[in-house]
Amino acid sequence: MKTINAVGLRCPEPLMIVRRELRNIPPGEAIAITADDPSTERDFDLLCRNLGYVMEEHKTEPNDNRTLYFFVIKKP
């Protein structure tokens, strides 16, 4: 599984990176993403709903002065 560290990146960069990577992986594969931009929750949810990807995991975790967001998105 490919992993993407988008910590420190702000909208729209995480979304653009994830979209590009999802296009380049074969069906059935997944990508794990770590981010700290709160807008990624909305962005990745809409990405999955609008383009048919599957959100296999989504969790948040406090970390120092920020919240980290973890996602696993699968290409059907």
Give 28-60 pLDDT, tens digit per residue: 999 999 999 999 999 999 999 999 999 999 999
pLDDT at residue 28 in the model: 97
According to CATH, the superfamily of the domain at 2-74 is: TusA-like domain (3.30.110.40)
Q: Is 1 exposed, middle or buried (0-12, 13-18, 19+ CB in 10 A)?
A: exposed
Query: Of the listed 7, 9, 11, 55, which one is catalytic?
Result: 11
pLDDT at residue 64 in the model: 86
Active site residue 48: no
Q: Which long-range contacts (CB under 8 A, 24 or more apart) does 51-60 make?
A: 51/22, 52/76, 53/22, 56/30, 57/32
pLDDT at residue 19 in the model: 97
pLDDT at residue 33 in the model: 98
List the chain domain ranges: 2-74
pLDDT over 90 for what percent of the chain? 96
